Structure 1
Amino acid sequence: MALPHTMAAVLLIGHGGLDKLEYRTDVSVPQPAADEVLIQVDAAAVNNTDINTRLGWYSKTVEEATNVGGAEGFSEISNDDAGWSGTPLKFPRIQGADVVGHIVAVGSAVDASRIGERVMVRNMLRHYVDRRHYESWTLGSECDGGFAQFVAIASAETHAVLSDWSDAALAAVPCS
């Protein structure tokens, strides 16, 4: 299967309201690193982590409930600590912590037999922090996630799905 060079994705361009989400059709398809797989996203759920990250609610300066930020975001946040891990996010970011799809390409250190496999992605990613206790990256926060046609992610963070559940039903599972 020949992969496209560009894809559709929803980019988060900064903390704030719905105006910080931008739909684009010219985003480069990610290339998997040696230990990664490329997933064609079949479904991605929207959860509180995605919303709270967009709003900047994880900033230590926010003291209100998440519903106060609603669709507009919070008026005063610190971008220095407004990511899930307490570190600044890099924009633009593709959000989407809950991903279900099929592996369409693999990095050089991943067995090619995984191509075609239906997978779910663990959204609290331990691989990228060398599996240190109490540390992780969040898919769609510290790295690009599933609000796109494709996502590259560590092979070790993907899990084969042998289920008759729909893609949408499965995408509702990871973060919850």
Structure 2
Amino acid sequence: MPNKEKNLIFPDFASILLKRRSEVKGFIENNEESKFYESIILQYSLIESTLKYMVFLQMALNLGLLHVRMKTSQEDFHFKMDELKLYCQNLSFYQAQHLALCSNVINEELYKKIDKIRIERNDWIHQTWLLQLTSTPNKLKEDLERVNDTFWEVTQAFGDLVNDIKHPWVFDLNVFFSKGKTKTQTKKNPK
């Protein structure tokens, strides 16, 4: 009988990233022009979300190591994890990219590629209506190929980080991606 308590796990997230890359490669190979624009936008979002999660994982690992070394209470640890989760979820793309570099989850070369993607993404967001009207299918295809290549490098860096951490809580994506209240947020304040 399958374990009903099983939540989303890392292979599911990895599968999402790998499936998305495969889908985009298919759009490019089959010249599905109608998919180029929306795929670029989605790849931008996935790059940003993956960076935020990578920063969270690295910082959570550091927090866990500090918790063990300092022998802090479980309540204190959970409170700090909840705060860390909120902090990382609310990072801007710019902040996530810089923290990822500073915490060594990405290298300088990938940082520079992501920076170009981030600047480009901001232009796309502010000029969406114009780009939809003026972009040629060939230009969109070129942009999608470049964004998808950077997305793949971020995905590989994510895989490297998870392989380095090898800790069971990393595999529960609900730790980061759930939008519901966490343990410490649902506790009632004593009066």
| TM-score, normalising length: structure 2 | 0.23
| TM-score, normalising length: structure 1 | 0.24
Instruction: Give the structure, 1 or 2, with the largest relative contact order (CA under 8 Å, sep 6 or more).
Output: 2
* Structure index of larger Rg: 2
